[in-house]
Amino acid sequence: MQFLSPNNFKDYELLDCGDFMKLERFGNYITIRPEPQAIWSPKWDMKEWERKAHVKFMPQSSSSGIWKKLKDMPDQWQIKYVLNTDDKNLATIKFRLGLTSFKHVGIFPEQSSNWDYIYNSVKAFKADKPKVLNLFAYTGGASLAAKVAGADITHLDSIKQVVSWANENMELSGLQDIRWVVEDAMKFVKRELKRGKKYNGIILDPPAYGHGPNGESWKLEDMMNDMMRSVAELLEDQHFIILNTYSLGFSSMIIENLFAEHICKRDLKSAEIGELFLPSSTGLKLPLGVFGRYRNI
């Protein structure tokens, strides 16, 4: 069991968390957002949080809300991440952040440990431009990491606006030629199987539940076993795969069993199974999902 947190992410900092909230710095700006995992008490009181913060998210329903600005700041801004690479190259990816009505700002910083792994995995292939598929790809941190390492990357998400946002991040990062797909992930994977397509790397970061562009239903516990069975058939003999899930109560043992059945042929010695978390400046640790990774290169 591994526990992974960001390695030297200078443009991000979890300052404090608790009472179902988190206080974070993204570049020059500090936000207050809801966080269902933070069930404990914060180290600082809310007055201190609001004294430090530029903006606070105010929920208006279970899925949306508005931002209350406490200090002057733009609605959109940029940050960067320098990947922790085995080859010691200073590979940098950039992100446009923004205040959205669904509390997100356009990045999941705990995923930076996986971005490092993706970059180093792509670089480990001897062939030029290994083919990588990023499913449930959001604003593209994993896609950028693969691309800057030299991959031929296909980026898929069911929301057109999110894919457009990922394209902005590609351009900000000085990259090009990522293949963009707006589609239901399961439908795409099944069609790629029929086409006989293969990939050297597959990245999955599925939500607990969601919908495809044509109303297709996704529910993690109902569909993850079939998804893993299918993506395993898409992998080349030499490959890497990452599965990350953020779902309350979703155990790392579930990931372990899925990898044992579909990926590692019941030999888990080479797989990495664990939990992603963010350490706060006040000494607290915020859990943010379980992951599985496997590399056969």
What pLDDT score does 250 carry?
81
> Is 45's pLDDT higher than 70?
yes
Q: What is the mean pLDDT of residues 55-64?
A: 93
181, 156 Cβ separation under 8 angstroms: yes
Q: What is the pLDDT of residue 63?
A: 82
Among 70, 59, 1, 62, CA closest to 29: 70
3-state DSSP of 243-275:
EEECCCCCCHHHHHHHHHHHCCCCCCCCCEEEE
pLDDT above 70 for 266: no
Mean pLDDT within 23-45 = 97
Ordered structural domains, the chain, with CATH: 109-296 (3.40.50.150)
Cα gap 154→179, rounded to integer Å: 5
Is 1's pLDDT higher than 90?
no
Give the C-alpha separation, 214 to 72, whole Å: 39
Residue 101 has pLDDT above 70, yes or no: yes
pLDDT at 208: 82
* pLDDT value of residue 136: 97
pLDDT at 62: 82
Average pLDDT, the chain: 95
Rg of the chain in Å (alpha carbons): 19
Share above pLDDT 70 across residues of the chain, in percent, rounded to a whole number: 99
pLDDT at 216: 86
Least confident of 136-150, 166-180, 209-223: 209-223
DSSP string, 122-161: HHH-SSSS-EEEEES-TT-HHHHHHHHTT-EEEEEES-HH
Alpha-carbon distance of 203 to 131, in angstroms, equals 11
The answer on pLDDT for 265 being more than 80 is no
Element holding 281 (H helix, E strand): none
Asked whether the predicted pLDDT for residue 249 surpasses 80, the reply is no
Q: What is the pTM of this model?
A: 0.95
Q: Based on the number of CB atoms within 10 Å of its own CB, is 177 exposed (0-12), middle (13-18) or buried (19 or more)?
A: exposed
pLDDT in tens, 185-213: 999 999 999 999 999 999 999 988 788 88
**267: pLDDT strictly greater than 80:** no
Q: Positive or negative, the Cα torsion across 244, 247, 248, 251?
A: negative
Q: Is the pLDDT of residue 247 over 80?
A: no
Residue 242 has pLDDT above 90, yes or no: yes
Instruction: For residues 47-73, give the mean pLDDT.
Output: 96
Chain centre to alpha carbon of residue 285: 18
* Residues 61, 59: Cα–Cα separation, whole Å: 6
Q: What is the pLDDT confidence band of residue 248, given thresholds at 50, 70 and 90?
A: low
